[in-house]
Homo-oligomer: A and B are copies of this chain.
Amino acid sequence: MEVLKVSAQSNPKSVAGALAAVLRERGTAEVQAVGAGAVNQAIKAIAISRGFVAPNGIDLICIPAFAEITIDGEERTAIRFIVEPR
């Protein structure tokens, strides 16, 4: 599955647009964020994308989960959001 990586500098509306596109095409998406700023932008993007896909009859929900990832050889804990229709 394609994973949308969100940073603290990501624009929530842009991420929301990308997310809506993936959802319409594949029915489900994954969003990954590392750090509080990134998690905050990811959540805003998911809230905004609810509005983008609602007219398509999609009631979007998200499932947050921890994920261990490696960045530059260092172990970090990311938050992964599984985003899909209810």
Which chain A residues have a beta carbon within 8 Å of chain B's beta carbons?
A: 8, 35-37, 39-40, 43-44, 46-47, 50, 60-66, 79, 86
Q: Determine the distance from Cα of A85 to Cα of B73 in the docked complex, in whole angstroms.
A: 37
Q: Are A46 and B64 within 8 A (Cβ)? A: yes
Number of copies: 2
Nearest chain-B residue to A61 (Cβ)?
Answer: B61
Q: Determine the distance from Cα of A44 to Cα of B65 in the docked complex, in whole angstroms.
A: 8
Nearest chain-B residue to A47 (Cβ)?
Answer: B64
Q: Determine the distance from Cα of A43 to Cα of B65 in the docked complex, in whole angstroms.
A: 9
CB < 8 Å neighbour of A40 from B40, B44, B47, B63: B40
Q: Determine the distance from Cα of A79 to Cα of B60 in the docked complex, in whole angstroms.
A: 16
Nearest chain-B residue to A35 (Cβ)?
Answer: B40
Contacts of A50 in B (CB 8 A): 63-65
